[in-house]
Structure 1
Amino acid sequence: MTIDRAPVPGTHEDRKSIVLIGGGPRAALVLERLVANRPALFDGPLAVHVVEPYRPGSGRIWREDQSPLLKLNSMASDVTMFTDDSVQCAGPALAGPGLVEWARGIVDGSISDVHIPDQDLARQIHTLRPTTFPTRRIQSLYLEWFFHRCVRALSPQVPVTVHQDLAVHVIAEGGGYEVTLSTGIVLRADAVVISVGHTDSAPDTESTRHVDFAARHGLFYAPPGYTNDVDFSDLQPGQEAIVSGMGLAFIDLVVLTMEGRGGSFVEAPGGELRYVPSGNEPVLWAGSRRGIPYRSKISSELCGEPAGTPRYLTAGAVAALLEIHDQLDFQQHLWPLLAKDAALGYYRELFTGHPDRVTLAWADFLPLFDATAWYSDERRALVARSVPEAADRLEFEEFDHPLADVSFSGPEDLQEKVAEHIREDLRLRDGGANSETLGLFLGLLHVYFELARLVPPDALTPASRGLVSGWWHGFFSYVDSGPPARRLRELLAVHQAGYVRFIGPQLQVAADEKAGLFTASSPRVPHIVSATALIEARLPSPSMTGSVNPLLKSLSESGLGCEERTGRDPGTGSTGRLLVDSSSRIVAPDGSTRQGLYAVGPATSGWSGGAFSRPNSNAAPFRDSDALARRILTDLAEAPETQDVFSSTRLAASITVLHSSLA
């Protein structure tokens, strides 16, 4: 394919110009929606510039150049980049293959425009099945192919110029914007969309103390970061390391430091795995708030009634709340509705798929459940008399913190109880006989996206915005976005081999200045772990002022943007995210917005449901991208004529890099 050259310095084109800063999957979705909506909304000359230091389509997180051991935590059948007929949006759906169909097209020759760089990826594509958890390298190829397809759909009417560069500054100029790149290029834009994804941040106060402590005592310290990009080469075989965090970054860490260092797994009797070490492994002591890893992905299928749409979190319910309250409190007003809908998905499948485990028919249970509030004695009593086994009853506080009421006699007792929790989670979610767990998964998934559709962020109290970006997103990830079951079986195997040990819930990390060691403990377990290494297994917290991304810092310094606050006063706390309104427009410190300046993704206060999603799920990223693309095109159609100006003394070097990187 051909991506058009940028205009020659000093020349002008009578084109409106859109600059997408960040070229990962979220930007690619916006580009695809521009393709779909342009014929109906904007028929004038248009140019698109994409600024992405890595390859467009995949970006940094999904780039092909990463460990071949790292995988998606979604099955291949649950991945698509195409807006299908299920998506409730104003723009037209443009059909296209999800990941499984794309791989089949490559195999049968109907898709021939994919460059496969090595035999390992070719083998993966040929063996990909709907239930496969694909590698991130396969996903990278799919995302880049999708991006190139979008470009082909626009050209030659709309030239797309990709700058393999970093945007460092945006200013408002002459009714539009000027975007300055690190190479000195200045792009003139009528509309700017910032979609920089997960960005690194400078160490916060605590991390800075750890950095200084490690330097003084010759210790290893890894601050929060994308696991694949962290250099663990100084972590020595047999070295003990405290790991703070047990989410997906922790799972990736285990993969890279165990199998990634030459270890392997063999099938053991009973379907379990046995780890065969290479001798290069460190020993990881892992802890977190919960003290357990995320719940595994589910292998069962629904046995009862199909999953329904939310019944309690509805447009009518939200409108009724907003008639009473100026702003909504997440915990008081919204969570009881979310919890009840998620539980409804669980109980619908339990009652209709496993009637031998309940005492009431679903038709009798549902109206009684409708009539009770989530936090009520009536609801608890109804469930108690309808569901005989206590283990089959769902209480989210217990589900969120399953070790909260467990007593530990010592560190070895903790090891066994955490391992037993993981085994039980695998039995329920990967055994095939407990499909009610899939009912919960789907119920929670539906309300996660429905909340984003029905409740704009600015309808929430400031404190609730922090709760949504913190606890709510974390809880959803813990339940619905955990690792493949295989990864937890591997975790059990390396635990049994002695290379992963558990610290417990409510992890507390400290630095022992006298001993010159990091320490970790749980208030629930009478044991202190001392180690010569500390690893923060999580992505950096979002921060505009602390971001290493110069663009986010410049938005704050220039006054074009500001951080989302968790209180009403300027001096109150912050989520660290770039504040946007319900239309994805960037909000200035005085509360104003500017036409044509937008931001989306995890660096912003807007609802972030990821980029790609499940087919036929009316996924929020597709709805939001469609609305944004239509907003941009409508604004461009109504704006006065402007010129697309491109100027730099280093233009030729950028074009050379562009063409070599996209060859």
Structure 2
Amino acid sequence: MPANAPTVVFVGGGPRTAGILERLAANRPELFDAPLDIHVIEPHTAGSGRIWRYEQHPGLMLNSAAADVTMFTDASVACDGPVADGPALADWAAGMLDGTIADVPELPADLRRQLRELSGTTFPTRQLQSAYLEWFFRRAVGRLAPDAAVTVHKDTAVGIESLPTTQREDDGGGYLVRLAGGAALPADVVVFALGHTDSLPDETSAAWADFAARHGRFHAAPSYTTDVDYAPIIPGQDVIVSGMGLAFVDLLVLLMEGRGGRFEDTSDGRLRYVPSGAEPRIWAGSRRGVPYHSKISSTLRGEPAESPRFFTAEAVDALLAEHGELDFRTQLWPLIAKDAGYGYYRELLTGYPERAVIGWTEFAERYAAVDWYSPERPRLVADAVPDTDLHLDLEHLDHPFAGRELAGLSDVQSAVTAHIEHDLRLRTSLDHSETLALFTALLKVYMELGRLVPPERLNSRSQQAVHGWWHGFFSFVDSGPPPRRLREMLALHRAGVLRFIGPGLEIQAEEESGRFVGTSAQTGATVRATALIEARLPAPSVARSANPLLRQLHRSGLGAEQQLLSTDGLHSTGRLLVSDRNEVLSPMGEPSRRLFGVGPGTSGWGAGAFARPGTNAAPFRENDALARRILTVLAGHRRHAGQPDTVAENPAPATLQGKA
């Protein structure tokens, strides 16, 4: 690169960075047609990063079918830059087999087998996903040709500092990013795209770790499941697991099949688990007491799904015009719930008209006229759908055991297994596609929320609710595991290696016995065990991050944690504070034009790194806007420095370089 080529440094090289690189390539002809020097700092493989890296257990799977995974923009994406369509994961696999996909190194034999067996409805392994993401990264780098260099540093960023103004002659100063290996990278723009990072244990987890150490017990604090060493857990050991989400699903794979057990199909269509004898006995509990809902294998049979009808830009704008601040639960959630119900009943009444006594046209007109929480809405549903089991109850969906009496562990086992069996019947049956309509309606709203609602216009309680309850509820309903994983849970339960504690799990450390005690607050069921696993990702934290760069960013005052004011004072969300333009904000709220943050650890909405095709996916919109912002900043830097905006006649080709 020319010596005066501006430099962009990405801290983190997972799929989010890959998506932004692709958007930089798509937008450069319009905004910045000049040489560019890009550095990507990633200790794992660029493209897949830590979470999706190849080097993890081969049995770990995505919770999305192959046809529902793409890294590419398409015509549905509402962005200012040009869309650049490309193959979703299933199409990519087909192209790999027929030779139409290029720039892919020879894959291991097992991944080649997976390619041959993959279909659009298959849930692929994370190892196969890693190959797709790494291919996309290389493709994005190639699209930056002919005058951009991309250097990958297989290293960790440990610090960042502002360059003294005497070393800069441009309009805003630059930065120096220091790496663990000793290198220091000057940067005109820095993008923090770190994804999920570890945090130092909070007070409760630290106390449990101390308890475990003093009594010779095992404790695993929140972490990415596959990065924890479970070797100290011995066969037959009782283990309390707090959390029944996707981390719990991965944990079962590692502690069961990962220790030599296997599943067999039975003549009645169920699975049988054949233990190896090396398994512990898992006691699982959580706030709800049940695992995430299964992904859905049915197809819609009624009228096609629509865009949100009630949670719309017009409705939100009207609320914004009327109120200084918005409250999520009282003002926005009723609109979201009404859209969810609209999608659900549309499919029920148009796909299964024999289940209703009112036609869809009449129902839709009456439904539109009532509020979600008005008494008229349940009366309308009762008039239209005689079978009360088909009535949508979102509160019951969120808390399936609320108000139910469960007497002890025996009742809990029956209740949880019955819940899982019922969930599988609804979500894998061809006769209950209303569950898919609900899934689709919630997904569309989830993708629209960040576009329609400015975060700064939500009151502090609502910002906590969005990142807490709403994200948790959406994940519980829409981001669950493949159906097979729930069938495996039932098989593990029948084999005696998985038991359930119940809802409202509370954990205590019992000094007298040296054991962890798990109790269901609702049922009183209690279990004592010598091991405790907190099966969830750690809560975000900048000040307590295990990532040295984030801690240094906080100490230096270049960045800050998001603080929300509640009735008991300021409350930190732990997230890196960014503006609605992804600019990193100082503790005083001042934006940096050259530091950007994106992803789940920031105060932005955040919505993953890849998405379903044709959904106007939020991460793709954000990637495009951020890429255009970066290019605009760089173009301004060139004009300030008196450099021409034209590219050299014979520019160097784009390169993908690597540095250990």
TM-score normalised by length of structure 2:
0.95
What is the letter of the counterpart of residue 484 of structure 1?
A: P
Find the aligned partners of 1:569 and 1:44 in 2 and give their Cα distance.
Answer: 52
SS in 1 for 2:272: strand
- Is 1:452–2:442 an aligned residue pair? no
Candidates 338, 341, 356, aligned match of 2:354: 356
In structure 2, the residue matched to 1:285 is 283
In structure 2, the residue matched to 1:157 is 147
Q: CA deviation at 1:587?
A: 1.4
Find the aligned partners of 2:409 and 2:490 in 1 and give their Cα distance.
Answer: 17
* Greater alpha carbon shift after TM alignment, 408-417 vs 174-183: 174-183
- Is 1:44–2:34 an aligned residue pair? yes
- Is 1:122–2:120 an aligned residue pair? no
SS in 2 for 1:30: helix
Alignment of 1:325-364 (within 5 A): 325-364=323-362
Find the aligned partners of 2:557 and 2:405 in 1 and give their Cα distance.
Answer: 52
Candidates 254, 257, 264, aligned match of 1:256: 254
In structure 2, the residue matched to 1:517 is 515
C-alpha offsets along residues 431-456 of structure 1, whole Å, 9 cap, x if unaligned?
22100000000000000011111112
In structure 2, the residue matched to 1:647 is none
The answer to whether the 8 A contact 1:245-1:536 is kept is: yes
Find the aligned partners of 2:342 and 2:524 in 1 and give their Cα distance.
Answer: 40
The answer to whether the 8 A contact 1:297-1:429 is kept is: yes
Q: CA deviation at 1:532?
A: 0.5
The answer to whether the 8 A contact 2:154-2:659 is kept is: no
In structure 1, the residue matched to 2:560 is 562
Candidates 570, 579, 582, aligned match of 1:581: 579
Find the aligned partners of 1:317 and 1:97 in 2 and give their Cα distance.
Answer: 35
The answer to whether the 8 A contact 2:580-2:604 is kept is: yes
Q: CA deviation at 1:477?
A: 0.4
The answer to whether the 8 A contact 1:457-1:581 is kept is: no
The answer to whether the 8 A contact 1:103-1:125 is kept is: yes
Alignment of 1:56-75 (within 5 A): 56-75=46-65
Find the aligned partners of 2:396 and 2:278 in 1 and give their Cα distance.
Answer: 38
Q: CA deviation at 1:185?
A: 1.7
Q: CA deviation at 1:409?
A: 2.2
The CA RMSD measured in Å over matched residues stands at 1.7
Find the aligned partners of 2:15 and 2:614 in 1 and give their Cα distance.
Answer: 18
Q: CA deviation at 1:568?
A: 6.6
In structure 1, the residue matched to 2:629 is 631
Q: CA deviation at 1:128?
A: 0.9
In structure 2, the residue matched to 1:397 is 395
In structure 1, the residue matched to 2:469 is 471
Find the aligned partners of 2:307 and 2:79 in 1 and give their Cα distance.
Answer: 17
Find the aligned partners of 1:67 and 1:423 in 2 and give their Cα distance.
Answer: 27
Find the aligned partners of 1:602 and 1:141 in 2 and give their Cα distance.
Answer: 23
What is the letter of the counterpart of residue 287 of structure 1?
A: G
SS in 1 for 2:519: strand
Find the aligned partners of 1:97 and 1:48 in 2 and give their Cα distance.
Answer: 25
Deviating beyond 3 angstroms after TM superposition, the runs of 4 or more aligned structure 1 residues are 568-571, 640-644, 657-661
* Greater alpha carbon shift after TM alignment, 517-526 vs 303-312: 517-526
In structure 2, the residue matched to 1:211 is 209
In structure 2, the residue matched to 1:276 is 274
Alignment of 1:531-570 (within 5 A): 531-567=529-565
Alignment of 1:142-541 (within 5 A): 142-173=132-163, 174=165, 175-541=173-539
The answer to whether the 8 A contact 1:13-1:643 is kept is: no
SS in 2 for 1:413: helix
Find the aligned partners of 1:492 and 1:621 in 2 and give their Cα distance.
Answer: 35
C-alpha offsets along residues 338-362 of structure 1, whole Å, 9 cap, x if unaligned?
1111111111111111111111111
SS in 1 for 2:612: coil
What is the letter of the counterpart of residue 439 of structure 2?
A: F
What is the letter of the counterpart of residue 67 of structure 1?
A: H
The answer to whether the 8 A contact 2:151-2:658 is kept is: no
What is the letter of the counterpart of residue 450 of structure 1?
A: E
Find the aligned partners of 2:657 and 2:149 in 1 and give their Cα distance.
Answer: 14
SS in 2 for 1:169: strand
C-alpha offsets along residues 567-622 of structure 1, whole Å, 9 cap, x if unaligned?
17995111111111111111111111011211000010111110011111111111
- Is 1:87–2:85 an aligned residue pair? no
The answer to whether the 8 A contact 1:15-1:643 is kept is: no
- Is 1:110–2:100 an aligned residue pair? yes
The answer to whether the 8 A contact 2:10-2:193 is kept is: yes
Q: CA deviation at 1:552?
A: 1.1
Find the aligned partners of 2:20 and 2:568 in 1 and give their Cα distance.
Answer: 33
Find the aligned partners of 2:446 and 2:81 in 1 and give their Cα distance.
Answer: 23
What is the letter of the counterpart of residue 60 of structure 2?
A: L
Find the aligned partners of 2:407 and 2:267 in 1 and give their Cα distance.
Answer: 30
SS in 2 for 1:271: coil
SS in 2 for 1:270: coil
Find the aligned partners of 2:435 and 2:250 in 1 and give their Cα distance.
Answer: 24
In structure 2, the CA distance between the partners of 1:64 and 1:642, relative to structure 1 (3 Å rule), is farther
What is the letter of the counterpart of residue 158 of structure 2?
A: V
SS in 1 for 2:480: coil
In structure 1, the residue matched to 2:646 is none
SS in 2 for 1:547: coil
Count residues with an aligned counterpart. 639
Q: CA deviation at 1:375?
A: 1.0
Candidates 588, 596, 619, aligned match of 1:590: 588
What is the letter of the counterpart of residue 263 of structure 1?
A: G
SS in 2 for 1:534: strand
SS in 2 for 1:589: coil
C-alpha offsets along residues 71-90 of structure 1, whole Å, 9 cap, x if unaligned?
00000000011111111111
What is the letter of the counterpart of residue 409 of structure 2?
A: P
Find the aligned partners of 1:345 and 1:165 in 2 and give their Cα distance.
Answer: 47
Find the aligned partners of 2:189 and 2:316 in 1 and give their Cα distance.
Answer: 32
What is the letter of the counterpart of residue 17 of structure 1?
A: T
What is the letter of the counterpart of residue 284 of structure 1?
A: I
Q: CA deviation at 1:658?
A: 6.6
The answer to whether the 8 A contact 2:152-2:659 is kept is: no
Find the aligned partners of 2:504 and 2:323 in 1 and give their Cα distance.
Answer: 35
In structure 2, the residue matched to 1:100 is 90
Candidates 610, 624, 645, aligned match of 1:612: 610
The answer to whether the 8 A contact 1:312-1:341 is kept is: yes
Q: CA deviation at 1:565?
A: 1.7
Identical-pair percentage: 56
In structure 1, the residue matched to 2:650 is none
Q: CA deviation at 1:252?
A: 0.6
SS in 2 for 1:318: helix
SS in 2 for 1:159: strand
In structure 2, the residue matched to 1:21 is 11
Q: CA deviation at 1:169?
A: 1.8
